[in-house]
Amino acid sequence: MSDTQSRTPQKKKRSGSEKRQRAKPISVRVNDDERAKIEANAAAADLCPSAYLRVAGTGTQRSSERRRPTVDMTLLAQAMAQVGRIGGNLAQFLRLANRGEIVAANDLDAAVQEARAFIAEAQKALRG
pLDDT in tens, 89-121: 889 988 998 999 888 889 888 888 988 988 888
H or E stretch at 59: none
Q: Is 45 helix (H, G, I), strand (E, B) or coil?
A: coil
Taking residues 21-27, report their average pLDDT. 78
User: Whole-model pTM?
Assistant: 0.42
**Does 28 have pLDDT greater than 90?**
no
Express as a percent the part of the chain with pLDDT over 90: 11
Helix-then-strand count for the chain, H and E: 5, 0
Identify whether the C-beta of residue 111 lies closer than 8 Å to the C-beta of residue 93. yes
